[in-house]
Amino acid sequence: MRIKRIGLFTSGGDAPGMNACVRAVVRTAIYHGLEVIGILRGYAGMIKGEMIEMNLSSVSNIIQRGGTILKTARSEEFMREEGRAEAAKNLREWNIDALVAIGGDGTYRGASRLSREHGIPVVGVPGTIDNDIYGTDFTIGYDTAINTAMEAIDRIRDTAASHERIFFIEVMGRESGFIALEVGVAGGAEAILIPEVETDIDEMCRMLMRGRARGKTSSIVIVAEGNKSGGAHEVAEKVKERTGLDYRVTVLGHVQRGGSPTVRDRVLASKLGSAAVEALLKDKFNVMVGEINGQVKLTPLDMIWTHKKQVDLSLYKLAGILSI
């Protein structure tokens, strides 16, 4: 298939490094003599025909910026067949031959349906701070998110020590505990609560009380938002009911998504954005470009949601050993 014009969009939650990826896609495409159309606001903009021609100037001075210059939005309309038909019509009107989709699991599901129903080739690039995408060791935005969270946790530990309190800190991770696990280990947390491991509240309380008995006056507990025993507020209340210990809760929330991307995220985004264009030129369609053991790998899109990426449970065990 001869590809002359690529449609490029970001979808789902924004992630630091998306702009670096947009830059890499546009510049690699132009290097190979292709045209790039930016689709604004993801699938919502695709349905409304919100598209712009992109050139080298379009992506100047954006590699260091957080968020996404193409904007992002969620679209219930695209989930319906009529919405996807309207999106496909607009893509044809703009003479778009193939798509590069930067996002996560939901982005790929939508792109796969669009391709299956309307024959539009697509290549995905993993952009999400949660790092829960199968087919890549790391996703664009993850490294920045954990460093942002880590900085906040270090600051909170200072005030926790000053006031001799337990702080329950909630981080993002609705379906996975990648962020919680890494920042918990790096931040010396006394406990880490993730969706993948059932929480034993009573044992955690005993651990916290043992610390108090030996003179420990402050503690940090990291809670992934998708923890099955509840978020940080719910867990903190359960602990207080059992121990009477004073506590405070901090929900980091969307602060983890913002900010200038780290070097690691900029490099990863540049590699994968360029690799997405190269994949299209080699007629590798309906795949996601990822990085495994430092090498670019292609994974069929339908494997992204049929295979679950696992957290490193040996790291979880290490956290338990180091928190005694």
Q: Which residues are catalytic?
A: 130
Contact between 272 and 266 under an 8 Å Cβ cutoff? The reply is: no
Main-chain phi, psi angles of 294, to 5 degrees: 80, 0
Write the DSSP string, 183-241. HHHHTT-SEEE-TTS---HHHHHHHHHHHHHTT---EEEEEETT-TT--HHHHHHHHHH
Residue 310 burial (10 A CB sphere; 0-12, 13-18, 19+): exposed
Give me the amino acid identity at 107.
T
In the chain, the amino acid numbered 210 is: R
Q: What value does the CA radius of gyration of the chain take, rounded to a whole number of Å?
A: 22
CA-CA distance, 138 to 277, in Å (whole number)? 19
| Cα distance between residue 7 and residue 35, in whole Å | 9
Structure tokens, 227 = 């923890």
